[in-house]
Amino acid sequence: MCGISGFVGSSGRTSPDEFNAQLGAMMSALKHRGPDDEGAWLDGNGRIALGHRRLAVLDLSEKGSQPMISKSGRYVIAFNGEIYNHLSLRRTLERDGVSHPSWNGHSDTETLLAGIEVWGLEKALIKSVGMFALALWDRQERALYLARDRLGEKPLYYGSQKGIFFFASELKAIQANPVFEGRIDKNAIALQFRLGYIPSPYSIYQGIKKLPPGCFLEKKLAGDNQEENIISYWSIDEATRSGVYAPFSGGDAEAIQSLESVLREAVSQQMLSDVPLGAFLSGGVDSSTIVALMQAQSPKSIKTFSIGFEETSYNEAEHASEVAEHLGTDHDELYVSSKQALDVIPLLPLFFDEPFSDPSQIPTFLVSELARSRVTVALSGDGGDELFGGYNRYFGTARWWNFIKAIPYPLRHVAAEFLLAIHPSSISQLERGFATVLNRKCAKKNWDDKALKISKVLKSRDDLSLYRNLISHHLNPEHLLIAGSEPESFMPSPNDAHKIVEYMMLADAKSYLPDDVLTKLDRAAMAVSLETRVPFLDHRVVEFAAALPMNMKIRNGQGKWLLRQVLQKYVPPTLTDRPKMGFGVPIDSWLRGPLRDWAESLLNQTKIEGEGYLRAGPVRALWQDHLSGKRNLGQPLWNILMFQSWLDQQSRS
């Protein structure tokens, strides 16, 4: 894992020393992504700068250093990530005898460069299995190419300001260039308030974008036309469409065997490393499956890592320990106090560079920090929910919509507002009364959470808006903003071939997965210079999952049915079959307790009015409702607080 940065163009008055200094500042900002080495390549005449910070994982020698120049001298590359099948690509290049490559080292970057020379960039990307972001300069055609892996595991930002075209792994590198202008995109704030993240291609800054997954950008500098063209070399839309029209036709036994085989190969390739390697283990289905397949292919005990919390409802460490003992891994766990977790919060704006408000960013950083004390690479179980139907909304939405669609919308809307107006203590008393009359136990549910979810369901006009409402933290984020509104296109368009459940899974894989889950994983891990790998997102696994009929993913009201069958070959279901917990922290209670003063300082009315972005009245009303216990608004407030905290950090930097 590494960090890349660079730019094209400069003002005519920029001296060579200033040109070097600009690139140096950008590279320094990414030192955490690559603490082992740094390299720069500059073409003074063409005003091209490529920078690289290296975390050495394959070929630890200088032969793996970057930026790397191809054998012919035509291409220069700065590469971040891993090409897992690079050894087989080398054999293909050697067997074909097209270029007769004589290898300088054994890095995957050198393999990719040789493939680009023989096949061209697009075909080389299609042949590659991996996670990556790269910048490639073609000296012959005077063209710059930026590329990103199929599912968006590795980040890549780009944009133009004052005649300079920037690119980098993280925004902080672009910010480090003295030419950068940090004008905030107020529309992006609306997106972050709704979703908890800013989806691709948007960023918090005007003129700076995220390159979409599965794409490469072409910018030719020869001639007068210097437009940027974005080309897709792989599309999850196409993968899912192919799966719909050419579904898997085998039976259960064949599906179990096929999934185990494709997953086993993905895990095997991602275990390739010249440095210590381990895995995150929560004890759930996804991480347990990855660890089980790792341990089955390793002669030594795999190093596994988990963290626990004092709050029982958020603690998965006990389950992880049981799975680790059964599999025989070398397990390490850390029980984190609330103070340790709270100490991470001031660092979050530095890790993420733009407002990002998934509270599981806190435990993700802590488990990454724990893992980095013993390994340099860690495999993760992320992606299983999106591919195999793990989220509750996948098997609840259709049922909920079928139940409520016959009720006139105006009546449903009134009922939703009524639910939100009732104090949760009153609802709990009512529930206990019904439970007594029916001689049943009172369900241990947070009624304010349930009432909020039910109100979102009731306010939905159709099944697509039901999904949108369920993933929204604020149903009307513009109400909180002085200016700014959501782009109409932030939600993926539905495909006629998809029913609502298929659409939700596709939409999550296109937006929530790369822009929330993988962003969280990448930034939290790279903050401590830890490389993470995600075997479920091997595109061969993704394409296989897309072809599976829905009853192999969701069966008898339970998600990830097929994945569970594979896991049961290695781990008894008694160790993993339990309600989904997620990887979170008790933000709601922390905001009423140890985080109250911190939050109050960020939500101060005078402060908000002075900043000029938010409406103080609605924000303060949400805060007071939460403090009073009238409603649980922990997540919506966390979105606002992460923006405010980020804004504070920007003013100090």
CA–CA–CA angle 483, 600, 594 (5° rounding): 135
Catalytic annotation present for 442? no
Looking at 1, 2, 23, 184, which residue is catalytic? Answer: 2
What are residue 210's DSSP bridge partners?
Answer: 157
Phi first, then psi, for residue 309 (nearest 5°) are: -125, 155
Q: Is 194 helix (H, G, I), strand (E, B) or coil?
A: helix
Residue among 199, 209, 249, 278 nearest 491 (CA): 199
Residue among 33, 49, 28, 197 nearest 525 (CA): 33
What are residue 6's DSSP bridge partners?
Answer: 50, 167
Interatomic CA distance for residues 35 and 222, integer angstroms: 35
Torsion, Cα of 199, 202, 204, 207 (10° steps): 170
User: What's at 108, amino acid-wise?
Assistant: D
User: What's at 183, amino acid-wise?
Assistant: R
My answer on whether omega of the bond before 201 falls inside 30° of 0, hence cis, is yes
| Inter-helix orientation angle 108-119/86-96, to 10° | 40
Phi first, then psi, for residue 186 (nearest 5°) are: -70, -25
DSSP H stretches of helix in 279-423: 285-296, 317-327, 338-344, 348-352, 361-372, 384-388, 392-404, 409-421
Residue among 354, 406, 645, 358 nearest 517 (CA): 358
Q: Are 567 and 289 in contact (CB under 8 A)?
A: yes
Residue among 450, 473, 474 nearest 396 (CA): 450
Interatomic CA distance for residues 466 and 447, integer angstroms: 20
Residue among 427, 355, 376, 404 nearest 640 (CA): 355
Distance of CA 455 to the CA centre of its chain: 28
Active site members: 2
